[in-house]
């Protein structure tokens, strides 16, 4: 099992910070990243880690819904928990499980869903009985 050493947590903090370095809590954490990763490591090892209160805000695009954002320290802890536990359960997951898995994700899940929909349509689609070609109507033989 992956140990929550400061070195491991530093690496995971850099991953979690990608694209978010200008956010206030990310910048504050990264300014003193060594101290924060040592403290988080200590809390995880002695099992005294407690998640902090997140914040909730609403978005309207693409549809109105609440978003719950964890403080950055908790996001680093979340990255650690995934890195530490996923390899042990990876072989038991069905192939259609896409969340938090290397080489999987939203785009792969979407491609799979589209492929399944196209396959479903190919099984149950009835071709049109008539089709127009150069202004004439011709009969098309039904599958059977």
pLDDT tens readout for residues 51-102: 999 999 999 988 999 999 999 999 999 999 999 988 888 788 877 777 777 7
What pLDDT is recorded for position 130? 60
Q: Taking 90 as the threshold, does the pLDDT of residue 10 lie above it?
A: yes
Alpha-carbon dihedral 107, 109, 80, 73, rounded to 10 degrees = 60
The number of angstroms, rounded, from the C-alpha of 137 to the middle of its chain's C-alpha atoms is: 50
d(CA 28, CA 133): 68
Pairwise pLDDT comparison (103 vs 24), residue with the higher score: 24
What pLDDT is recorded for position 97? 78
């Amino acid at each position: 099992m992956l140990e929550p050493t400061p070195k491991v947590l530093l690496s995971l903090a850099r991953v979690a910070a990608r694209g978010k370095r200008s956010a206030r809590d990310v910048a504050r954490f990264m300014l003193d990243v060594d101290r924060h990763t040592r403290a988080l490591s200590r809390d995880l090892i002695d099992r005294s880690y407690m998640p902090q209160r997140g914040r909730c805000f609403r978005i309207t695009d693409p549809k109105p819904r609440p978003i719950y954002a964890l403080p950055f320290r908790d996001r680093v802890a979340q990255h650690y928990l995934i890195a530490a536990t996923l390899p042990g359960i990876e072989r038991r997951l069905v192939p259609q499980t896409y969340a938090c898995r290397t080489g999987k994700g939203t785009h792969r899940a979407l491609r799979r869903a589209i492929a399944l929909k196209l396959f479903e349509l190919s099984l149950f689609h009835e071709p049109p009985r008539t089709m127009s070609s150069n202004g004439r109507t011709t009969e098309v033989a039904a599958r059977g």
